[in-house]
Amino acid sequence: MSKSLIIAEKPSVAQDIVRALTPVAGKFEKAADHFENDRYVVTSAVGHLVEIKAPEEYDVKRGKWSFAHLPVVPPHFDLAPIDKAKSRLQAVVKLVKRKDVTELINACDAGREGELIFRLIVQYAGGAKGKIEKPIQRLWLQSMTPQAIRDGFAALRSDEQMLGLADAARSRSEADWLVGINGTRAMTAFNSRDGGFFLTTVGRVQTPTLSIVVEREEKIRKHIPRDYWEIKAGFGAAAGDYEGKWFDPKFKKNEDPDRRADRLWTETEAKTIADAVRGQPGTVSEEAKPSTQASPGLYDLTTLQREANGRFGFSAKTTLSLAQALYEKHKVLTYPRTDSRHLPEDYLPVVKQAFQMIAEEDLPGPLQALAEHARKGLKEGYVKPTKRVFDNTKVSDHFAIIPTLQAPRSLSEAEAKLYDLVVKRFLAVFYPSAEYLVTTRITKVNEHHFQTNGKVLVNPGWLAVYGKEAQDEDANLVPVQPNEAVSNEGVNIVALATRPPARYTEATLLSAMEGAGKLIDDDELREAMAEKGLGTPATRAQVIEGLILEKYMHREGRELIPTAKAFQLMTLLRGLGVEDLTKPELTGNWEYQLAEIEHGRMSRDAFMGGIATMAERIVKKAKEYDRDTIPGDYATLKAPCPNCGGVVKENYRRFACEACDFSITKIPGGRSFELAEVERFLIDKKIGPLEGFRSKAGWPFTAELKLVFDDEINNWKLEFDFGEDDKAKDDGEPVDFSGQQSLGPCPKCKGHVYEHGSNYVCEHAVGAHTTCDFKTGKIILTQPVSHEQLHKLLTTGKTDLLENFVSNKTRRKFKAFLAYDKKEGKVSFEFEPRAAKVPAKKAAAKKAAA
């Protein structure tokens, strides 16, 4: 009997499909890697199972990256299994090839990436031909409720309908590979010309995103504060006191962004005005206008990520994973990876049902308060068709994130916070606008004007959903009569200074990525990016995390701060004349052309030909650059030259003295010096231990740096200090630990353990007469070991679970405890025990850590 094979993107979705189809298609039997009944076989990927790669003869390993092997423009792309997904891939391919499977149904996530995941699996299953001669249909799901899944199966799309999307998906993937590989290898080769390996990654989305952050930081660094003054006066009316601020009613905006109507630019002018009005009575006039404020629109993923970052401090990555869990695991939200803030025009009945669910279900905890607002919305007839919410022209692959008809049960605290955000926005968008009375009061003292603003909430409307039923007390203005004379109770001059623009947070950077199309001059490209921006809602969090992982920027509180490596990359791309890699026009152009491919108006071959030409141009520019340095905006260091006391200046590759031959590289061991670090290094002649260095083959390591005087060159030079010679250099000389507090007892000899160089050592392991050899690193595989954790290790035998170790072999992060192994006499890794199928009494696995 012939069957249809349904391939979902994730195991949880496959289970949902089985549950939804069971009432209409019969019971499914569960096998090791699929479900099956008389009609269907249901299986799933786990995200991407295969990846595109260059054919073997074009593949260049990391240690051999050089211009000799560039550009890499293969005539076609092979497919390779992703290591961690090999067994799942084999299971899915086996089902695809089954003789009784006569039809394939793509049930991967609705969108470009879901299309790509399915197409690559089928291509891989087709072997050398890359083709499976079986008909294909497409399941397009927006919600994971059982009825929505059954409705999706009743309206399957044909393969012909999806071919444009499939071509666009492949083209985007291959184009990103070509630009990313050639750009990254060319810039890495350029930066590694003087030796070492300085990994310099670039990408179509990550580099313009980084450029946005760097340009903001450049403005902050160049900002020169300008002093200005404001004048505030207190006035007494018959009904009470109020405050006003001086302003110039004749003020007109010009090109100076710092100028405002209420700012004075000399203290003398401010004092003159203050003296003129001090003690003088004033007359009052005011204008009150009604004002309305509509609820913000429904959430797309980026808006949700922005708000969750601002409200709760959640990273974009955290918000996405919470929203995905609420969609997949709990089934209480619709598909979260969406860039639409509208609903389909036929969705009105579903919205009413969702209001009914919120009104009637016993929601957990604080969510119960929302039932009252849902009941009121239904009773007052608030849910009605409106283009603000229901608009087919603004729904593409997916619609806005809203609650499903499934009531939540057993949400975590973080999940409940996010669900609460979505439900409140969903209810509020149908409520009437909030109504205010906005009052502008002008108090005139002689010829000088003071302004006071008041805003009174008349009808809360949608604000009631957020618990704002009444106006805050401090927003109320004491009433005055028309032309009432008021007394002057005092005048105060406030000295202030202009401030630089704020650094980006994840919330504001997500906004900038989403609105990057506004930065584009070309009308067609701006239109192509109007709904897209940089990246997609699903990938923006990943882009930000990638920039942090590659040390292009770091988080400080909620701020994102670019590193020296980021500035160096921007200087390089500008200097080489490949600035298009830093601009959103690149994405705008791609999105425009990919949309043309999707709608059959452009061929895939024409698009890929243009991408290959671009990759070749990037490599050519880097390969042929022959000047000594890249032009840029370079720093002059405050620290003097250690050799002659002269001025040390930065150029593209080095920090060099203007007066003598002293210079040091800016990127020792593939790691860029931050300006503050190099200043300290030149003064202290040592720094560290620092992490993030890379060997010639690209593997990370940690070390101290020191400046040593070399008699041969009669100058100072930079050297790595790995701490291996701590013991040797101390031979014959006692080490003074009297200024330090012991971190705990030595596990070997019970002596005291102290910090020493790049290690923690036993007091008896250094100096003239060593009787112990206990030593462990202060940083192990990029994971700093704090004094508190070392103390815990020495007193209890084991640290807490530490999460930021990075494997030298795979470069992947891993978690482990550090524990003292008595048998080996050294500190080792101890891993969390895996859940065993049968009770096991084996000790946790161990291997040497330091």
So which residues are the catalytic ones? 335
The helix-helix angle for 316-328 and 301-312 (nearest 10°) equals: 120
Q: Which residue has the tokens 């890359």?
A: 130
Of all helices (H) and strands (E), which one includes residue 706? strand 700-710
Task: Give CA–CA dist 847/123, Å, rounded.
Answer: 41
Tell me which DSSP letter residue 700 carries.
Answer: E
Task: Give CA–CA dist 765/751, Å, rounded.
Answer: 10
Q: Which residue has the tokens 């482990």?
A: 816
How many residues comprise the chain? 850
Residue 64's φ and ψ, nearest 5 degrees, are: -110, 20
Which residue, among 44, 496, 462, has the nearest Cα to 227 in the 3D structure?
496
Strand bridging mode 101-107 / 136-138: parallel
Contact between 748 and 762 (Cβ < 8 Å): yes
Residue type, 253: K
Residue type, 684: D
Task: Give CA–CA dist 768/777, Å, rounded.
Answer: 22
Task: Give CA–CA dist 232/490, Å, rounded.
Answer: 8
Contact between 500 and 219 (Cβ < 8 Å): yes
Q: Which residues of 85-94 are buried (b: 16+ CB within 10 A; e: fewer)?
A: beebbebbbe
**Residue 45: both structure tokens together:** 């990927």
**Residue 402: both structure tokens together:** 């809203």
Q: Which residue has the tokens 């670019």?
A: 562
**Residue 192: both structure tokens together:** 């590694």
Strands (DSSP E) found in 11-164: 29-30, 35-36, 40-44, 50-53, 78-81, 101-107, 136-138, 157-158
**Bridge partners (DSSP) listed for residue 343:** 390
Alpha carbon of 825 to those of 436, 541, 753: distances in Å?
Answer: 73, 43, 15
Contact between 103 and 5 (Cβ < 8 Å): yes
Which residue, among 699, 702, 703, has the nearest Cα to 808 in the 3D structure?
699
**Residue 668: both structure tokens together:** 């020792």
Q: Is the alpha carbon torsion for 213, 218, 219, 220 positive or negative?
A: positive
Task: Give CA–CA dist 688/705, Å, rounded.
Answer: 6
**Bridge partners (DSSP) listed for residue 283:** 444, 485
Tell me which DSSP letter residue 330 carries.
Answer: S
